[in-house]
Structure 1
Amino acid sequence: MAEARKEATTLALEKEVPRAALDGVLTIEVDSRVESLEEQEDARWHQLLNAHRTRKILTGELGGVEKLESGWVVAITYYNGFRIIIPMSEMMINLNGDGRENSDTLNRQTRIANNMLGCEIDFMIKDLDTETKSVVASRKDAMLKKRQTFYYAEEGEKPMLYPGRMVQARVIAVAAKAVRLEVFGVEVSVRARDMAWEWMVDASEKFQIGDLVLVTVNEIRQKSVEDISISVDAKSATANTNKDNLKKCHKQGKYAGTITDVYKGTYFIRLDIGVNAVAHSCNMPSLPGKRDKIGFVATRINDNYEVAEGIITRLIKRAQ
């Protein structure tokens, strides 16, 4: 009798409780379902298959540069948890102005790619293997597609990107005196002095890999989709604070500042009050150097060049 009552109770319970609560993972919410790790991976892999079929541009973070056993040098990124390899020949790195024109092309590309680690890059899947879940992609294909979209237009129409337009750009690498940007499929290296109104010892003081910055497109030179070069600057996209800051500086005033550069006996200084300054002479027994903290006396306010001119009077602190 007891067994009969137990069996009846079990049958009644099964009728009241949804099957989702009796089979598989027991979920907190009634009738909800938890996907297994395998199902989640299959769904993510399916997204890559669709991206490959539709030639969709994907975005990932450049996570590494490796040399494979086959001898290939590749860039590594991850998307949806899957490892994506991009051959260095498919990275479409702009080598103009890198100062190593006589070096091996692959070494030049690898050196720049190393400096780009951590930046966001676009890519399109070229091939994938369902069995091994391996993916080969191309940054070049993605950049060419973006160029076609933003730098070209139908006959009689204006392209989305043209000289004089203010646009957003990705910071993909930073050096002491230059910042490398990616502007809708075109890489360009911009001098640090064209990136900000204030003088900097090192561009990394103000810009980091992964930043998004506003720039003004000054010029576009395009022979074909594969041969496009541009010039941009970030100064004209931001308000000029030099004129207002210069009002803080007065003739014969004494100020502290940091030497940002030295060129042919001329010292370029960023004063702590936010003013750019130039010194042609130094009243010190030993000459200061770049990054040194110094004392400065203003002898002239040059409104035309928006700088204070004067003399370095003393060393406050040597750079470490």
Structure 2
Amino acid sequence: MAELKKAVNKMEEQGIPRAVLSEGILTIDVDSHVETMEEQEDARWHQLLNAHRTKKILTGQLGGIEKLDSGWTVAITYYNGFRILIPMDEMMINLSGDGREHSDTLNRQTRIANNMLGSDIDFIIRDLDEQSRSVVASRKDAMLKKRQMFYFNEDEEEKPMLYPGRIVEARVIAVAPKVVRLEVFGVEVSVRARDMAWEWMVDASEKFQVGDLTLVMVNQINIRSVEEMEISVDAKSATANVNKDNLKRCVRQGKYVGIITDVYKGTYFIRLNIGVNAVAHSCNMASLPSKRDEVGFVVTRINDKFEVAEGIITRMIKRGA
């Protein structure tokens, strides 16, 4: 012990800080301090405590759907390394138009939430347990708070931040072949794929993925209360219409290749590889083509009014998947 004290005194005389002799982590900069894993976790937990106290809106990625031993169905997200549980009835999932009106509500919510996996969601912490460091949160609280912030204004003479005619950024939270589900500042809305892009698509996932941000035009807002709101948006109006310019690439009697994006009552809707939407009312083939098939197409008319090329399917090039 005496030798250790001598060494310490000698190092102090030489101007070497005592920090190098501590039992902690020896750092390159001897006057600095490296946080241990426990200290880092405590700091991150403290951030959650502050967020809980201030009702701050936090954002995490929807990582899973689980049914707990208690029978509770919850959505799972992580924030600052901590597991956050959001009860399914606190996810505030818009069920209108899902086509399952007579099914169990929880099953409908869970089905849509499964399609939302990987999307960013907002939440406000409802409760924390210091001992187990478990967290329960509500997406509903966060969405209602965002609605109050963006769709309402205390001064009636001023416009709120979000109003019809404004172009805003929206989150893509789920994608189906013909529908894209968006979250627009606290309001969920489903938009038909044909209203999301000027070019026709076989599947909306060709252009949109869960987690994307996209620009949309707000068309209508119907507010009965903060909890009861409906909005109408589309992405086409937020971008330039290139159909007219693309249509100039076509000529009558021109032969082109395209993909059949849809078939309805004998009419074929095609996206030509040159970027033009086309319609065929007849098909000169022994076997009829189907959606996703790659076909040859001859233009018989340029329809400027509807911004499409009209013509005939002449041959099969490749069957779709």
Same fold (TM over 0.5): yes
The 5 A counterparts of 1:270-285 are: 270-285=271-286
Q: Distance in 2 between matches of 1:7 and 1:94?
A: 70
Equivalent residue number for residue 114 of structure 1 = 114
Preserved contact between residue 127 and residue 136 of structure 2 (Cα < 8 Å): yes
Q: Is 1:94 paired with 2:94?
A: yes
Q: Deviations over 1:133-165 (max 9, x none)?
A: 000000000000000000000132210000000
**Shift in Å at residue 19 of structure 1?**
2.5
- Percentage identity across paired residues of the two chains: 78
Equivalent residue number for residue 317 of structure 1 = 318
Q: Which moved more, 1:28-37 or 1:277-286?
A: 28-37
* 2:236 counterpart letter in structure 1: K
Q: Distance in 1 between matches of 2:4 and 2:181?
A: 74
- 2:148 aligned counterpart, secondary structure: helix
Q: Distance in 1 between matches of 2:60 and 2:121?
A: 6
Structure 2 CA distance for partners of 1:17 and 1:296, relative to 1, 3 Å: same
Structure 2 CA distance for partners of 1:7 and 1:33, relative to 1, 3 Å: closer
Task: Return the match for 1:13 from 11, 14, 17.
Answer: 11
Structure 2 CA distance for partners of 1:268 and 1:31, relative to 1, 3 Å: same
Q: Distance in 2 between matches of 1:141 and 1:55?
A: 9
Structure 2 CA distance for partners of 1:18 and 1:269, relative to 1, 3 Å: same
Q: Which runs of 4+ in 1 moved over 6 A?
A: 4-7
Q: Deviations over 1:50-79 (max 9, x none)?
A: 000000000000000000011111000000
Q: Deviations over 1:280-301 (max 9, x none)?
A: 0000000000000000000000
**Shift in Å at residue 22 of structure 1?**
1.8
- C-alpha RMSD of the superposition: 1.4
Equivalent residue number for residue 267 of structure 2 = 266
The 5 A counterparts of 1:1-320 are: 8=6, 10-15=8-13, 16-23=15-22, 24-154=24-154, 155-320=156-321
Instruction: In structure 2, list runs of 5 or more residues that go unmatched.
Output: none
Preserved contact between residue 20 and residue 33 of structure 1 (Cα < 8 Å): no
Q: Distance in 1 between matches of 2:89 and 2:252?
A: 57
- 1:236 aligned counterpart, secondary structure: helix
Q: Which moved more, 1:244-253 or 1:10-19?
A: 10-19
* 2:11 counterpart letter in structure 1: L
Structure 2 CA distance for partners of 1:111 and 1:158, relative to 1, 3 Å: same
* 1:295 counterpart letter in structure 2: G
Preserved contact between residue 199 and residue 270 of structure 1 (Cα < 8 Å): yes
* 1:12 counterpart letter in structure 2: K
**Shift in Å at residue 17 of structure 1?**
1.8
* 2:295 counterpart letter in structure 1: I
Q: Distance in 2 between matches of 1:59 and 1:118?
A: 12
Q: Distance in 2 between matches of 1:185 and 1:19?
A: 54
Q: Distance in 2 between matches of 1:75 and 1:265?
A: 43
**Shift in Å at residue 13 of structure 1?**
1.1
TM-score computed with the length of structure 1 as normaliser:
0.97
Q: Deviations over 1:228-283 (max 9, x none)?
A: 11000000100111100000000000000000000000000000000000000000
**Shift in Å at residue 20 of structure 1?**
2.4
Preserved contact between residue 284 and residue 314 of structure 2 (Cα < 8 Å): yes
**Shift in Å at residue 7 of structure 1?**
6.7
**Shift in Å at residue 192 of structure 1?**
0.3
Q: Distance in 1 between matches of 2:94 and 2:18?
A: 59
The count of residues paired between Structure 1 and Structure 2 equals: 318
Q: Deviations over 1:166-194 (max 9, x none)?
A: 00000000000010000000000000000
TM-score computed with the length of structure 2 as normaliser:
0.97
* 1:306 counterpart letter in structure 2: E
